[in-house]
Amino acid sequence: MNRLFLIGALSAVALMAQGQADDPPSRVARLNWVSGDVAFQPASLDTWTNATLNYPLTTGDHLFVNAGGRAEMHIDGSAIRLNANSNFGFLNLSDNIVQISLNQGSLEIRLRQLDQNDSYEIDTPNGAITLLRAGEYRVDTDPTRNATMLTVRNGQAQMYQDGNSVLVAPHQTAWFHDGTAPEVNSENPRDDFDAFVAARDRSEDMLPRRGYVPETMVGYQDLYAYGQWVNDPAYGWVWVPPVTPGWAPYTTGRWAFVHPWGWTWVDDAPWGFAPFHYGRWAMVRGYGWAWIPGAPTYRPVYAPALVGFIGGSGFGIGISVGWFPLGPREPWIPAWHASPAYVTSVNVMHVTNVNVINVTNVTYVNRQSAVVVSQADFAAARPVSAAAIRVTPAQLQGAQVLGTSPQIVPARTSVAIGAARVAPVVSARAVVARTPPPPAPVSFQAQQQALAQNKGVPLSAGQVNQLRVQQPAATVARTPVRTVNAGPAAAAAAVRPTPSTPAAPAPAANPANTNSVPNRMSSRPPGAAPIVTPNGTSQSAPAVQTRPTQPAAQTVPATQPTTQAAPREQAAPREQAAPRVQPTTQQTTSPQGGGPAPRPGTAPTRKQTKAPSRQEEERR
């Protein structure tokens, strides 16, 4: 029987009638590249594992990059790169706030766009930094000298201390520590970490941008570096992955339990993020499996895995669970209590009738392509390729569709999917925040009983808060946070500083040539110690893989648009001496004190589902 009752739809309707919905964030950060020794600590655990590529990072997660290592992640189309000996964490990652803690080490951020109500904040032991425009920024914090430096390559940022606030303009470096006002100079010369960042940026910039997917889709770069785009008569432009015969979606990876989404697919392929958290899959004549991105005019909304689960007593193969990729126009309805607006936004790119809450019957075109594993292997996050169970078409036909939840209770190994390791030695220094972050996460151990009662469906925010009240000791210890007291004096001081030395010239044409880069110490403000870099030598950055040009029948015709409508604010190229963006009013605190106030003249808010058209952008 191909037309099946969609259990999750009626459950969602019933839950929505009972109370307020509990929507998760629409975006995550993706750990897409690591080099050397990189450790990961999930939000709900007090233990560390080796970092896993393609793992979705969110509020409460931490990374530590050991000596000789580096790491890169993406949020929307923006990149964050970490240098060696860096202790990094997400204090908050929501639809409108990216709040980072960095209490030791170095990071660089290439912020491609900043929506009207978005806030980017980096909290350090010596003060809070708010990014005000799209641009390129570097932050160094040194525990041995208790000092922090902010370098603005392009863009504009504001630094907050108790009683002090200062704007930092393009090509300036500000140095600050506790008890003194920030000192602003021309930007520091570039070192080997800057060269690494420049090489990664160039690799991304060389990729074609053909407008098939929005550039706010996490992992969109891989869709132009791997595989090929094909114009299919039935589905339009689809992406064909570079795989071997016999491959199927959601078979080369493992399952992890990531709060607040629950069961989440983590793929092994270097391109394995966007095709498994956005879009749909279909069999295309002459090519096999192809990924359908959906309408590119809408903002993409992250989903943990776009699959339907099967199981039940009719399965006939023991205690096991299976899943299959959702096909074209098949809705994905979350297992948790979601609002109609969330369900619409997560499906609007793929479902013609976005009123999917009322859908009660769905034809699952990919059901016979389901893969099956034991529930024990599923919960233990074992690789699916090694754990898959052979099943017959008749067994698949007799299985019950469970909806978008496998009804499996997670174990600790479901959260910590990387190899266990000794905890790194990290700094215990508190960071200073301008925006109060969410409360500390509740430990997975404290959640286990409630998760069992929920049959593996993630806990709502209300349930987590109740555990936090009932078990105060159950929260996970994290980097201490102290909220800054800017005060009236700081607001009055928030003016563009006069640099103590002339503005630095444009960067050299070949930043990768680190032999000619001056010693970073030579231009540092007095009292700041150098940040440790890997072995003192430059590290060549691996280029993003590119594919040969496809035959004419499979490439983009000349009439195809070369890019999607650009965001209103874009990061300026590294070769420019000044940012391309127009000045905006500096950021101020909202009257409620719960976050940043909107900045005039910036891009539309993330809550606006439909992206602006090219004509609207040109009029702006």
pLDDT tens by residue, 401-420? 888 889 899 999 999 999 99
Residue 326 and residue 515: Cα distance in Å, rounded? 52
Q: Is residue 432, in this structure, part of any structural domain at all? A: no
Dihedral of CA atoms 220, 223, 225, 226 in degrees, nearest 10, equals 150
**Span 363-390, mean pLDDT?**
93
Amino acid found at 90: F
Q: Is residue 39, in this structure, part of any structural domain at all? A: no
Residue 173 and residue 523: Cα distance in Å, rounded? 10
Question: Do 255 and 275 fall within a single domain?
Answer: yes
Number of domains in the chain: 2
For the chain, percent of residues with pLDDT exceeding 90: 56
Which secondary-structure segment (H or E) carries 361?
A: strand 361-363
The confidence band for 21, taking pLDDT boundaries of 50, 70 and 90, is low
Q: Is residue 265, in this structure, part of any structural domain at all? A: yes
What pLDDT score does 576 carry? 38
Question: Do 180 and 270 fall within a single domain?
Answer: no
Residue 171 and residue 151: Cα distance in Å, rounded? 7
Q: Which domain holds residue 392?
A: 3-22+215-415
Question: Do 265 and 200 fall within a single domain?
Answer: no
The confidence band for 486, taking pLDDT boundaries of 50, 70 and 90, is low
Say yes or no to pLDDT of 532 above 50. Answer: no
Q: Is residue 191, in this structure, part of any structural domain at all? A: yes
**Span 214-233, mean pLDDT?**
95
Quote the DSSP letter at residue 596. Answer: B
Pick the most confident of 154-168, 274-288, 317-331: 274-288
Lowest mean pLDDT among 334-348, 377-391, 537-551: 537-551
What pLDDT score does 599 carry? 41
Q: Is residue 42, in this structure, part of any structural domain at all? A: no
Question: Do 379 and 268 fall within a single domain?
Answer: yes
What pLDDT score does 353 carry? 58
Residue 283 and residue 294: Cα distance in Å, rounded? 15
What's the chain's Rg over C-alpha atoms? 24
Say yes or no to pLDDT of 356 above 70. Answer: no
The confidence band for 317, taking pLDDT boundaries of 50, 70 and 90, is low
Write down the mean pLDDT value for the chain.
78
Pick from 387, 234, 263, 339: nearest CA to 15 = 339
The CATH number of residue 150's host domain is 2.60.120.1440
First vs last C-alpha separation in the chain: 53
The CB-side HSE value for 321 (13 A sphere, CA atoms) comes to 20
Characterise 478 by phi-psi region: left (phi > 0), alpha (psi -120 to 50), beta (else).
Answer: beta
Question: Do 322 and 264 fall within a single domain?
Answer: yes
Question: Do 400 and 487 fall within a single domain?
Answer: no
Question: Do 249 and 380 fall within a single domain?
Answer: yes
Lowest mean pLDDT among 192-201, 272-281, 305-314, 557-566: 557-566
Say yes or no to pLDDT of 329 above 50. Answer: yes
Pick from 148, 168, 149: nearest CA to 158 = 168
Question: Do 485 and 380 fall within a single domain?
Answer: no
- Written as six digits, the tokens of 506 are 């444009």
For the chain, percent of residues with pLDDT exceeding 70: 72
Measure the CA angle with vertex 494, ends 131 and 79; round to 5°: 5
Characterise 219 by phi-psi region: left (phi > 0), alpha (psi -120 to 50), beta (else).
Answer: left
Confidence (pTM): 0.78
Q: Is residue 384, in this structure, part of any structural domain at all? A: yes
Measure the CA angle with vertex 373, ends 259 and 330; round to 5°: 65
Distances (CA, A) of 569 to 156, 399, 595: 12, 50, 21
Q: Is residue 601, in this structure, part of any structural domain at all? A: yes
Question: Do 491 and 530 fall within a single domain?
Answer: yes
The confidence band for 362, taking pLDDT boundaries of 50, 70 and 90, is confident
The answer to whether the CB of 299 falls within 8 A of the CB of 565 is no
Lowest mean pLDDT among 26-35, 254-263, 349-358, 497-506: 497-506
Last residue of some domain: 415, 430, 452? 415
**Span 391-397, mean pLDDT?**
85
What pLDDT score does 312 carry? 72
Say yes or no to pLDDT of 281 above 60. Answer: yes
**Span 509-517, mean pLDDT?**
34
What pLDDT score does 43 carry? 95
Of residues 173 and 596, which shows the higher confidence score? 173
Of residues 599 and 447, which shows the higher confidence score? 447
Say yes or no to pLDDT of 605 above 70. Answer: no
Of residues 146 and 516, which shows the higher confidence score? 146
What pLDDT score does 314 carry? 60
Say yes or no to pLDDT of 480 above 50. Answer: yes
- Written as six digits, the tokens of 521 are 């110490």
The confidence band for 582, taking pLDDT boundaries of 50, 70 and 90, is very low
Characterise 254 by phi-psi region: left (phi > 0), alpha (psi -120 to 50), beta (else).
Answer: beta
Question: Do 189 and 247 fall within a single domain?
Answer: no
What b/e readout covers 558-588, taking b as 16+ CB neighbours within 10 angstroms? eeeeeebbebbbbbbebeeeebebeeeebbe
Last residue of some domain: 367, 388, 415? 415
What pLDDT score does 51 carry? 97
What pLDDT score does 518 carry? 35
Q: 3-state SS of 48-97?
A: CEECCCCCEECCCCEEEECCCCEEEEEECCEEEEECCCEEEEEEEECCCE
What pLDDT score does 11 carry? 37
Lowest mean pLDDT among 312-326, 382-396, 420-434, 498-512: 498-512
**Span 10-25, mean pLDDT?**
51
**Span 222-234, mean pLDDT?**
95
Say yes or no to pLDDT of 544 above 60. Answer: no
What pLDDT score does 421 carry? 92
Q: 320: buried, middle or exposed (CB in 10 Å: 19+, 13-18, 0-12)?
A: buried
pLDDT tens by residue, 92-106? 999 999 999 999 999
Question: Which residue is associated with the tokens 């479901």?
Answer: 414
Which secondary-structure segment (H or E) carries 99?
A: strand 97-111
- Written as six digits, the tokens of 554 are 């499979």
Pick from 423, 300, 527: nearest CA to 48 = 423
Question: Do 597 and 502 fall within a single domain?
Answer: yes
Residue 90 and residue 107: Cα distance in Å, rounded? 13
Say yes or no to pLDDT of 70 above 50. Answer: yes
Q: Is residue 90, in this structure, part of any structural domain at all? A: yes
Last residue of some domain: 415, 450, 467? 415
Question: Do 271 and 410 fall within a single domain?
Answer: yes
Question: Which residue is associated with the tokens 């607006």?
Answer: 341
pLDDT tens by residue, 74-94? 999 999 999 999 999 999 999
